Amino acid sequence: MQVAIIGAGAAGLSIALALHSRGIQCTIYESREAPHRGMGALMLAPNALRILDSLGLYQQLRSRGFNFSTVEFRDQHDTVNDTWQMGNQDQYGYDALRITRPAFLDVLRAAVEERCIKVKYAARYSHIVEERQKGVTFQLGDGTRIEADILVGADGVYSDVRRSIAPTVEPIYSGSLALLATIRRRFANEAASTTIKPPQTTFYYGQSNALLVLPQEHDGSQACLGTQRKYSEQSREDWVHLGYDKDKLYDLFMQDTSEWPQRVQDAMAQIDKDNIYIWPFYTLPDLPSWTSLPHRRTILIGDSSSSIPPTGGQGACQAIETAYTLAMVISTISKTPNLPADSYTTSIASWQSARQERVQKAKLFTTQLDNNRLPPAERAKLPAGTYWEAGQHPDLSWLYGAGLATKGVTRVEVQKNRGAVTRVRAATVDEIYGMNENLQNLPRVGTGDGVKGAC
């Protein structure tokens, strides 16, 4: 089995490492000429950290990011109105982790290099030449043609691979622009620093504005300040130009900030214009299929197949889950002899259905969390079930628990059929598949009669 992966971002590196852990050969093709470290940071919850731990990456990541369990919701008077649990060592085995994107990618790339996984840079994907029942041929920009058993598109929200599955689908601008800045969590006024502590992991909500404060180094010495503004859509080139206009970004960031409490204003006073960057929010329409039809040899994962707003920290987490579960299905199929001809397509179809169901649930969770930050008068206009009242904390074991979900997780069963042939079936299940006693490793998929592999 040979898998080709387009894109060397978080999703592409994750599936490469997951495939390698199961003995599946893969090659990553990246259009950039050298590794790209990216900007910003990720919020990783227990559901993703458990997978990364099973791949031997958690301890390195943990030492490079800020570990925490709750986020505070504060109003403009600095009053705590609610807290939200993003992780919990005792309950789920892991606290949440806030880590810069460059640090996250550095750890994954180091593991890819250490494990001798092939990465080819300056290898821009062009198009699919032919897809067959048992393989796919695709072409790079320089004319090189490559044969693979499976092609995985992990090339982001502007995916080129997606054209072969959903040629008319384009990212949709949400109308909102995120402005983010990194600061050192200290005060210029030494007297103030002894009496006013800098904000912790906090969402501040005012009458017309919102601000987040998220530490993201291991000792909390660096923090990200973030806010959101309505902004007209720009071309990709103009977004780049706006990103370099630091004076304009600073003015946008500082609009309507007088309502914030003093310690927030002290923190904002430390913003360096050069450390401000933007994130225009783009979403994808729900795709009917993440895989090519009828053979399903081309598969989309991560932002190329779905997009989740960042509020709940589940965008990267769901991409990592998708990568790991797909690797599990591919591994089980590849290691099972004498499969019927339709086993691959039916298993991938069932995997896709399970993942789409879980991603939709994660999207609803994010919408509810997003709506919690609205002013009470606006929130009261929303339909029931689209937000939570303060202190009304739902059970999140389906999301964070030891098992990827109570429903919508993918199970692959390998069974003998009347003693003659072996069939692989992927299905959604209601059981929670647990971890071993020390919560360090996910169960592995085996092969043979009656073996069940769970993610």
Which residues 6+ apart lie within 8 Å of 12 measured at CB?
Answer: 5, 6, 28, 30, 152, 154, 155, 302
Residue ranges per structural domain of the chain: 2-170+285-454, 172-283
Angle made by CA atoms 219, 372, 283, in degrees to the nearest 5 = 85
User: If you average pLDDT over every residue of the chain, what do you get?
Assistant: 83
Percent of the residues in the chain that have a pLDDT greater than 70, as a whole number = 81
Q: Is the peptide bond before 294 cis (omega within 30 degrees of 0)?
A: yes
* pLDDT value, residue 187: 46
pLDDT digit string (tens) for 400-415? 887 553 333 344 444 3
* pLDDT value, residue 264: 86
Q: Give the pair of three-digit tokens for residue 67.
A: 């570990």
Q: Is 450 a residue whose pLDDT tops 70? A: no
CA dihedral angle for residue 377, residue 380, residue 382, residue 385, rounded to 10 degrees: 140
Q: Is 426 a residue whose pLDDT tops 60? A: no
Bridge partners of 2?
A: 25
Residue 317: closest CA among 350, 284, 363, 285: 363
Q: Alpha-carbon distance 71 to 214, whole Å?
A: 9
Reported as a pLDDT band with limits 50, 70 and 90, residue 235 is very high
Could you tell me the pTM of the whole model? 0.85
Phi, psi values for residue 116, rounded to 5° = 60, 35
| 44-48, 324-328, 331-335, 362-366, range with the lowest pLDDT | 362-366
**Other beta carbons less than 10 A from residue 446's beta carbon:** 12
C-alpha distances out from residue 92 to 89, 179, 360, Å: 6, 32, 22
* pLDDT value, residue 401: 83
Q: Alpha-carbon distance 78 to 374, whole Å?
A: 16
pLDDT digit string (tens) for 116-163? 999 999 999 999 999 999 999 999 999 999 999 999 999 999 999 999
**Which amino acid would we find at residue 244?**
Y
Higher pLDDT, 187 or 233: 233
Label each residue of 386-419 as H, E or C: CCCCCCCCCCCHHHHCCCCCCCCEEEEEEEEECC
Is the separation of the CB atoms in 198 and 185 below 8 Å? yes
* pLDDT value, residue 205: 83
Reported as a pLDDT band with limits 50, 70 and 90, residue 438 is very low
Reported as a pLDDT band with limits 50, 70 and 90, residue 197 is low
Q: Alpha-carbon distance 216 to 201, whole Å?
A: 9
Within 13 Å, how many C-alpha atoms sit on residue 315's CB side? 19
| CATH architecture of the domain covering 2-170+285-454 | 3-Layer(bba) Sandwich (3.50)
Reported as a pLDDT band with limits 50, 70 and 90, residue 353 is very high
Q: Of 173-182, 294-303, 381-390, which one has max mean pLDDT?
A: 294-303
CATH topology for 172-283 is: D-Amino Acid Oxidase; Chain A, domain 2 (3.30.9)
* pLDDT value, residue 410: 40
